[in-house]
Every structure is written in structure tokens, then in C-alpha cells.
Structure 1
């Protein structure tokens, strides 16, 4: 038992109770403070890991994800979403839209060969045929873009023996360019049963052969439409 010096007051029960409360409060405060620091440190580490994961994602994987994003947009057939792929206004020399629509062509002439978003969405039914958006959907249906993880070029020929022409599709990655190819070619094995008035076989190259290229540039994060061009 502790002895007390002369003049030193013996602590009362009230003082002892106050000391116990103070020590308990201090202990709880210290414990909570340490827990908060651990949580904060944990969140900081988690955030760093997420950022590192994003920044270290392989370039090819990001391109594949972007192609899948485009696939979903085209498949939606939503003219506003598809219009978002384009950076309007754009020169028609870049887009290669050729349609039999008097209003569109008149506006195009008045605009100095510039296509606006309203022109695009206002005549989308015709524009989608000109740009072969339906064939883009067939491209994604017949080609697995996941194969681009280990290949720079994937192709598919949709040959039907009983048809004079066939469609072919391709996706090619070359440095920062990604090209979607939509083409048609002659089925050389097709036996033409009839010819045109000019005696041209049904599978003649003048009828079957043409191609359209959608070219995108990759900026490290997204694909951006560069141009659309064709031949045939």
C-alpha cells in the first residue's frame, strides 16, 4: 500500500474514477487513430495498384477493347451513337459518302463538300448503305477481334458456292493505324447460268469486285476515325 507524504492529499474515489475515464478515452482515441492510418494507407496502396494496372495494360489489349466498343455502337444501329464516331464537320473527301439524295447533295455543294452531323443523321438510312454499316456488323460477326492479341491481321471470306460474288472482311493493325476492310470479290468457282445483255457473266469482276476501308488511328487510349475510302 502506498504511503503519502505530509501535506499530500490522499486521492478520493472521485479523482480515481476521473483518471480511469481519461485513460480509457485516451486509449480508444489512440486505437482509432492508428486504425484510420491503416485504412488510409490501404486505400492509397489499392489506388496505386489500380492506376498501375491501367497504365500497364498492353496496347494491343486496349485496341481490342476499343474495337469491341465500336462493334457495340454499330450493332445498336443508333444514328446518334454512330455519329459520335465521326468528328463533324468533316470533308466528304475523307468520308466518301455517295448517295442519291437531292437534299443531302445540295447541302453538300452549298457547304463546300463538308458533311455536318445533321446531314449525317438526317439521311442516315441512305448514308448507312453507302458506308456499308451492315457489312461492318457482318465483319464483327465473322471475325473474333480477340485473335488480334497475337496477330496483326485477321481475315474471313464468306464464300457461298451458289453465289457469283462473295464478301470478305479483314482487320489489320499497323503501328498506330487500325483498318477495317469490307470487300466483295468474284467467286471463280461459280458456274454462271446466265449473262447480262452485254454478255457479261454474273461473277465478272466489273460486277463483283469492290472494297471499302475504314481507317482509325489509335492515340494510346482510343480509336479515332481517320478516313473512309473505297475502290471498285
Structure 2
């Protein structure tokens, strides 16, 4: 199973878990089987708010503005919400002393290293690759960027289920390249970043990040 398929499956399972906690698991599961019905049941006001929040997020990451970006997170960040290991010596020691939790000050102070660690430039590429306004009437928007004779392609996806918003970006093996180079066992250093947010009140709040590769 490639990383894109893995994350799609993982997101479905995680969303189902979150919906069950909200008491909406049964209805969400049923509607997920029929995308047409789900899209027809979109709450226009909620979608307008989510899209507006995503556009604000686009601006924040485009500017690489830590003061705007940190507002999407609730601190301290629990160790279980981020797949983060070795960032830099000071950061790692500070996290160890707090049981793995990340305070706002620690996040802001080490933001550049955290940004590089999670390849957060992918957020800006993601927002450039899709039309956010389409999410007002669609459950998801996706985009792929293939380059001839390149072993990897980049993929981008934003999906919404109720008040949960999933953002994905990464690289995967290009099938055309694989077919043209059957003797190469590994043609691409695949990677995938998956960020789950939830609309709370009128703000998107970070829930969990998952990384592969």
C-alpha cells in the first residue's frame, strides 16, 4: 500500500473516531457511503466559515508568520498529537523535561526548525494547488503535479467531513516512470504529511498530525 492510500485509510478511521466522540459517528458513516448525499447536506454557513479560515491559514503560511500560525494550536501540545522526534538539541532536551509536551514559547522559539522538520512549505504549495472556494460545495479538492521523466509526483488534498478538516501534501511514486523503469526497485523517496483540524466556534484548531516517509 502506497503512502497516499495509507493516509486516506488512516484519515477515514481517525475521522470516524472523532465523529463518534461527537456523537455523530453513525450518521457520518452512513453519509460517507454516498458522497452526493453528503454534499447535499453541506451547511453553507459552516462551509463559508471553514473556507474563510483556510484562506487565513493560507496567508499565515504564505508569510511564514509564526504569530499567526501558532494561533491554530492549543498549548501545550501533547506528545501524542505530533510525530516529532529530534529537532535540535535544546528543543529535544526541553521536551524531555516536560514529558514530551510542547509549550507555546518552545514552539515559537524553535519554529524555523519545526517548520523545516515538517516541510511546512507544503502548506503553501497545497493552497496554491487547489481552489479553496470549491470546498463551499464539495467534500474535497485534490491536485497532483507530474513532471515527465521524474520518478516522484507531488499530491495535495483538502477534505472536509462535518467540522473536521484534513490537509495532506506529499510525494509518491510516478506510475508512468515505474513502468518505464521496471528494474528500479525504489524510484521515489515517498513522503506524506497529514494535518487534521477541527472547527471550534469560528476558528480552526489543530487536532493531530501524522507523517510517513
- Per the normalisation by structure 2, the TM-score is 0.72
Out of 34, 53, 60, the residue aligned to residue 73 of structure 1 is 60
Q: Which runs of 5+ in 1 are unaligned?
A: 1-55
**How many correspondences in the alignment?**
169
Across the aligned residues of Structure 1 and Structure 2, the Cα RMSD in angstroms comes to 2.2
Q: 1:190-212 deviations in whole A, cap 9, x for unaligned? A: 245996xxxx4433xxx22x321
- Where does residue 165 of structure 2 map in the other structure? 178
Post-superposition, which runs of at least 4 consecutive aligned residues in structure 1 deviate over 6 A?
none
- Partners of 1:98 and 1:129 in 2: CA distance: 13
SS in 1 for 2:74: coil
Q: Which protein shows a greater Rg?
A: 1
Residue 91 (structure 2) pairs with residue 104 (structure 1): yes
Which structure is higher in RCO with an 8 Å CA cutoff and minimum separation 6? 2
Task: Label 1:194 to 1:121 Cα distance change in 2 as closer, same or farther (>3 A).
Answer: farther
- Partners of 1:82 and 1:106 in 2: CA distance: 24
What is the Cα deviation at residue 58 of structure 1? 1.8
Residue 134 (structure 2) pairs with residue 153 (structure 1): no
- Partners of 1:95 and 1:201 in 2: CA distance: 28
SS in 1 for 2:50: helix
What is the Cα deviation at residue 86 of structure 1? 1.2
Residue 115 (structure 2) pairs with residue 128 (structure 1): yes
Q: 1:83-103 deviations in whole A, cap 9, x for unaligned? A: 222111111221223344111
- Partners of 1:117 and 1:84 in 2: CA distance: 10
- Partners of 1:176 and 1:201 in 2: CA distance: 38
Q: Which runs of 5+ in 2 are unaligned?
A: 1-42
Q: 1:164-216 deviations in whole A, cap 9, x for unaligned? A: 11110100000110100112110122245996xxxx4433xxx22x3211111
Report matched runs for 1:201-216 at 5 Å: 201-203=186-188, 207-208=189-190, 210-216=191-197
Residue 206 (structure 2) pairs with residue 225 (structure 1): yes
- Where does residue 156 of structure 2 map in the other structure? 169
- Per the normalisation by structure 1, the TM-score is 0.67
- Partners of 2:152 and 2:205 in 1: CA distance: 32
- Where does residue 131 of structure 2 map in the other structure? 144
- Where does residue 46 of structure 1 map in the other structure? none
